[in-house]
């Protein structure tokens, strides 16, 4: 029985009266192709029953991995202001992203939407003129509702949940898993009265995964009413009252500087009370907790954007996905040794 020959992009190009490269760019959703041409090529490919050959795609990907990457272009690190460069986690994202981009043949350049005279429309025009195919949306210092931009022209990913809209693909730490690991290590070390000191905006920026992890772990240990999270002005007298009222022997937090806040309370760390941070920027220093693997998060963000560029995926995804990077426990010195 004679096998049916697979329809190729060259066949589509002949019928559409265009170059083979044009058809390839259409399937990569390249912005340089006019909408009318794109629609006509896609309609012809549908009529001809075209479907990509998975074996050829896998072979092309394999060859791409083997070959040394020459210069491919620039990826944008899109920011609102420069505050991010003073936040350790955000700087680590950038460092990881920069190194991985270099390995893939790209540079990463900072593009600031709050630069003098800059607008979102002008910024998109600059990126298109520079032939920038991919955008890494820098995490926001504060929770932001939306970022209106010409997303249809770019492959884009954002860090975490601090930017509510648009619904781009997300790369983030496993906040829920991080606090679950932290709580379990505290229980293993003998702590039982554990308080939760995370500011409301931090919880919102983590999509409330941190608070959820804390409450679930408390309920699993038979505490129908977990210790009420710290609220109010962050001052030594307020913290001390909260600790004494709830008879706390440990505090979990997202702030690795929390032990210094306790100095004014007269409480000794870890002698009087233990402190664990589930969002450490690195596995080093005094404070115990979860190192976020922030460098790795930056690397994976670039891997995601580059793969999207290669597949021709631009614009807002129909189904956004979340890539969550597991953190690692760091013993530190802010918790007592295991009994």
Q: Are 50 and 107 in contact (CB under 8 A)?
A: no
What is the mean predicted confidence (pLDDT) over 181-191? 95
| Domain end position, chosen among 50, 66, 82 | 66
Same domain, 190 and 283: yes
The per-residue pLDDT for range 109-119, each reduced to its tens digit, is 999 999 999 99
Same domain, 42 and 85: no
Distances in Å between the Cα of 163 and the Cα atoms of 76, 143, 233, 265 are 17, 6, 26, 35
Within a domain: 331: no
When mean pLDDT is compared across 7-11, 75-79, 100-104, 199-203, the lowest value belongs to: 7-11
Q: Are 117 and 58 in contact (CB under 8 A)?
A: no
328-330/288-291 β-pairing:
antiparallel
Q: Which residues 6+ apart lie within 8 Å of 258 measured at CB?
A: 197, 251, 275, 277, 287
- For residue 149, what pLDDT is reported? 95
What is the mean predicted confidence (pLDDT) over 288-296? 94
Within a domain: 250: yes
The per-residue pLDDT for range 116-145, each reduced to its tens digit, is 999 999 999 999 999 999 999 999 888 888
| Domain end position, chosen among 253, 276, 293 | 293
Average pLDDT, the chain: 88
The residue segments making up the domain with residue 18 are: 9-66
Same domain, 81 and 133: yes
The per-residue pLDDT for range 192-233, each reduced to its tens digit, is 999 999 988 889 999 999 999 999 999 888 876 678 889 888
**DSSP-derived 3-state class of residue 144:** strand
Same domain, 24 and 105: no
Instruction: Round the CA-based radius of gyration of the chain to a whole number and report it.
Output: 25
Same domain, 261 and 320: no
Within a domain: 220: yes
Q: In the structure, what pLDDT confidence band is assigned to residue 287 with cuts at 50, 70 and 90?
A: very high
**CATH number reported for the structural domain that contains residue 249 in this entry:** 3.40.50.2300
What is the mean predicted confidence (pLDDT) over 175-187? 96
Q: Which residues 6+ apart lie within 8 Å of 72 measured at CB?
A: 104, 105, 106
Has residue 57 got a pLDDT over 90? no
Within a domain: 335: no
- For residue 197, what pLDDT is reported? 94
What is the mean predicted confidence (pLDDT) over 320-328? 95
Q: In the structure, what pLDDT confidence band is assigned to residue 1 with cuts at 50, 70 and 90?
A: very low
- For residue 2, what pLDDT is reported? 47
Tokens linked to 309: 């560029």
Same domain, 154 and 106: yes
The per-residue pLDDT for range 300-321, each reduced to its tens digit, is 999 999 999 988 899 999 999 9
Same domain, 168 and 307: yes
Q: What are phi and psi of 110, to 5 degrees?
A: -80, 130
Same domain, 276 and 181: yes
- For residue 9, what pLDDT is reported? 80
Same domain, 124 and 44: no
Please state, for a pLDDT cut of 90, what percent of the chain lies above it: 62
Within a domain: 332: no
Q: Are 301 and 93 in contact (CB under 8 A)?
A: yes
When mean pLDDT is compared across 15-29, 49-63, 104-118, 258-272, the lowest value belongs to: 49-63
Distance CA 20, CA 14 (A): 8
Within a domain: 13: yes
Same domain, 179 and 287: yes
pTM score of the predicted model: 0.79
When mean pLDDT is compared across 96-110, 228-242, 312-326, the lowest value belongs to: 228-242
When mean pLDDT is compared across 49-58, 100-109, 219-228, the lowest value belongs to: 49-58
Same domain, 286 and 309: no
Q: How many folded domains does the chain comprise?
A: 3
- For residue 72, what pLDDT is reported? 81
**CATH number reported for the structural domain that contains residue 57 in this entry:** 1.10.260.40
Within a domain: 148: yes
Same domain, 195 and 121: no
Query: What does the DSSP assignment read for 102-129?
Result: HHTTEEEEEEETTSTT--HHHHHHHHHH
């Amino acid at each position: 029985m004679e096998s049916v020959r697979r329809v190729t992009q060259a066949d589509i190009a002949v019928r559409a009266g265009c170059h083979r490269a044009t058809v390839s760019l259409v399937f990569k959703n390249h912005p340089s192709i006019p909408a009318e041409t794109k629609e006509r090529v896609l309609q012809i490919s549908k009529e001809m029953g075209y479907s990509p050959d998975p074996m050829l795609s896998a072979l092309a990907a394999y060859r791409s991995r083997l070959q040394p990457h020459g210069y491919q272009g620039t990826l944008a690190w899109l920011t609102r202001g420069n505050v991010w460069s003073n936040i350790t986690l955000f700087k680590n994202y950038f460092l990881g992203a920069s190194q991985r981009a270099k390995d893939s043949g790209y540079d990463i350049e900072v593009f600031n939407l709050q630069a003098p005279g800059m607008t979102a429309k002008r910024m998109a025009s600059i990126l298109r003129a520079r032939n920038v195919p991919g955008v890494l949306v820098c995490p926001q210092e504060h929770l932001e509702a939306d970022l209106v931009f010409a997303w249809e022209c770019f492959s884009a990913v954002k860090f975490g949940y601090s930017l509510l809209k648009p619904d781009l693909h997300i790369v983030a730490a496993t906040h829920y898993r991080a606090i679950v690991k932290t709580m379990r290590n505290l229980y293993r070390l003998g702590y039982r009265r554990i308080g939760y000191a995370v500011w409301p905006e931090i919880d919102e920026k983590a999509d409330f995964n941190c608070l959820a992890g804390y409450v679930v772990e408390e309920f699993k240990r038979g505490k129908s009413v977990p210790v009420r999270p710290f609220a109010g002005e962050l001052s030594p007298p307020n913290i001390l009252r909260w600790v004494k009222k709830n008879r706390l022997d440990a505090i979990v937090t997202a702030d690795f500087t929390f032990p210094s806040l306790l100095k004014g309370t007269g409480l000794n760390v870890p002698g009087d009370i233990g402190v664990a941070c589930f969002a450490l920027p690195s596995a080093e220093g005094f404070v115990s907790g979860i190192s976020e693997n922030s460098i790795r998060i930056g690397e994976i963000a670039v891997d995601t954007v580059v793969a999207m560029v290669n597949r021709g995926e631009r614009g807002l995804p129909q189904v956004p996905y979340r890539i969550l990077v597991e953190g690692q426990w760091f013993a530190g010195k802010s918790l007592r040794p295991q009994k």
